[in-house]
Amino acid sequence: MTQIGPRVRVCDVLPGLQSSASDATGILMESICRGELRRPLHSKELLLPAILKWADWDEEHRRDNKLVFGHHPTFDRLSSIEKVFIIIQL
């Protein structure tokens, strides 16, 4: 469990999450709308405001919201495209 304060950014908690995860290449995302949407959080983004904005949502929409450390399928595809581009460019 990670404690969050008003000035804690994503980059502040990533090292702890990466060291405790089996795969340290994950990213931090907010999982909203019963997990149907996952938004990657920017490394410089403040965590507390990202979480507090859920308080303005209806109970039905915020009930299962959470922060998740893992892989995002779109990011995985983009990183593989980037690797191919680098190889072709060489």
- Lowest mean per-residue pLDDT among 6-15, 65-74, 79-88: 79-88
Strands 27-32 and 66-70: what pairing? antiparallel
Q: pTM, whole model, 2 decimals?
A: 0.71
Percent of the chain residues topping a pLDDT of 90: 26
Closest by CA to 60, choosing from 87, 32, 27, is 32
Rounded Cα distance between 69 and 56, Å, is 24
Whole-number Å distance between alpha carbons of 11 and 33: 25
Please report, for the chain, the start and end positions of each structural domain, with discontinuous segments joined by +: 10-89
Model confidence pLDDT, tens digit, residues 28-49: 999 998 888 888 999 899 999 9
